[in-house]
Amino acid sequence: MLDTKKEYLIIKILQVNLPLWFKQAKRDLPFRQTKDPYSIWISEIMAQQTQIDTLIPYYYRFIKQFPNVFSLTLASEDEVIKAWEGLGYYSRARNLHQAARLIVSDYNGLMPDTFTELIKLPGIGPYTGGAIASIAFNEKVCAVDGNVLRVISRYCNSYDDIGDAKTKKRITQWLETILPQAVGDFNEGLMELGAMICTPQNPKCLLCPIRDGCQSFIAGTTALIPVKKKKQKQVTKKMEVGIVKQNGALFFIRRPDAGLLSGMWSFPITEAAAKNSQAIKKKLEESFSQLGEPVLIGTSRHVFSHVIWEMSVYGFNLDLSVCETNAGYLTANQPPDQSTFKSLAQVDELALPVAFSKLLKLLDNF
DNA sequence: TATGCGTGGGC
DNA sequence: TGCCCAAGCAT
């Protein structure tokens, strides 16, 4: 990976300068004021594919609501998902809840303290396991995330594709041979450097504490590294959303427990079959015997990681007198806990993804 | 190995 | 607008 003649010096710069820099430059983050494995676990799960600034308010709220693994265990999955509302990648919340119950049932409520045990828990993979083990338990393992891949690729002037599993393995194995005693600070330092200095665009090399060893800085290739294959862009889907209103209350359904936004609440939504087909009306007629004509109240676009929804939002007024004469408006395949009416004041009780919560402002047109 | 899985921010 | 990216994991 590196010219062996230089390697000793280059490794020393990394081992010595990085922790020194981290000690004085690290951000004052709430989860850095504790060694509590539970708190560190929560912060690391939240940090997956999420910028630190985004998760901080969630972290405070979550720790206040669920201060330890037992309180998390006692909560319902709905409560945990609600606490995760707005953060995205909601399977993280479900895995967190599952893992908490495993920790109580299989580990006497104590967080497993080794990498090997940690990665057996749902939602904890190689990165998160390494982060918890090294930061909370000082185990000599590395924690290789996107920051680390970028920092090390540049430091070694490597053009290997960081999306390739082989590259990650190679970097992991190299790091394992150079981990210093204070492994937690070293791992966090690499990530902090990646987040604050060795950024993807316009890295602040003049402020970098390991610049003298950085082969990419020396070669002037920091703009070319890391190499990463382009993601294929999202598919755009035209969707129809139905907002059913009855006496000011809105109709919601719970989404299936697998797939996009699983377990979250939702307005009824369908993929538009064809132009002006009003597929949503057909779907709603399965649940409501008398709907009336839909009113187009607006459009909205929502970008997910792998799909884009272009939504046409239709309002349906449910006449109370009609509903009373059709008490069985809910179909049998929609059990009561899978659908509900909520007033605007009550909507907050449901875990509603942003794709739908942002539609609430369209109600002014309805 | 490749894909599904959210959301917000930067430019 | 679009495009990239972010302290990844499960399958």
Question: From the C1' of C8, which residue's alpha carbon is nearest?
Answer: A48
Q: What is the pLDDT of residue A350?
A: 97
Q: In 3D, which of A363, A365, A361, A360 has the Cα closest to residue A347?
A: A360
Separation of CA A98 from chain center: 17
Distance in angstroms, CA of A164 to C1' of B3? 14
Picking from A302, A61, A22, the residue whose alpha carbon sits closest to that of residue A185 is A22
Residues in chain A predicted with pLDDT less than 70, given as ranges, are: 1-3, 5, 275-277, 320-336
Q: How many Å apart are A308 CA and B11 C1'? A: 21
Domain boundaries, chain A: 4-219, 235-365
Nearest nt (C1') from A194 Cα? C7
A199 touches strand B (CB under 7 A): no
A200 touches strand C (CB under 7 A): yes
Which nucleotide lies closest to A191 by the C1' atom and the CA atom?
C7
Among A112, A103, A113, CA closest to A69: A103
Measure CA to C1' and name the residue nearest C7: A47
Does nucleic acid strand B have an atom less than 7 angstroms from the CB of A306?
yes
Q: What fold characterizes domain A235-365? A: Nucleoside Triphosphate Pyrophosphohydrolase (3.90.79)
Contact yes or no for A362/A267 (Cβ under 8 A): no
Q: Using a 7 Å cut-off to protein CB atoms, list the covered nucleotides of chain C.
A: 1, 3-10
- Can you give the distance from the CA of residue A334 to the C1' of nucleotide B9 in angstroms? 39
Q: Is the CB of A260 under 7 A from strand B?
A: yes
C-alpha span between A93 and A363 (Å, rounded): 30
What confidence tens digit (pLDDT) does each residue in A134-175 have?
Answer: 999 999 999 999 999 999 999 999 999 999 999 999 999 999
CA atom of A200 to C1′ atom of B3, Å? 24
CATH number for A4-219 (one of 3.40.50.720, 1.10.340.30, 3.40.50.620, 2.130.10.10): it is 1.10.340.30
CB proximity A246–strand B (7 Å threshold)? no
Nucleotides of B under 7 A from a protein CB: 1, 3-9, 11
Q: What values do phi and psi take at A93, rounded to 5? A: -70, -40
pLDDT tens-digit map of A282-325:
899 888 887 888 999 999 999 999 999 999 999 999 875 544 43
Which 8-state DSSP code applies to residue A232? P
- A301 φ/ψ angles, rounded to the nearest 5 degrees: -120, 135
User: Strand B contacts (CB < 7 A) among A residues 262-301?
Assistant: 262
As given in the structure block, the two tokens for residue A200 are: 């993807």
Residue (of A350, A262, A363) closest to A314 by Cα position: A363
pLDDT at position A287, please?
A: 85
Q: What pLDDT sits at residue A80?
A: 98
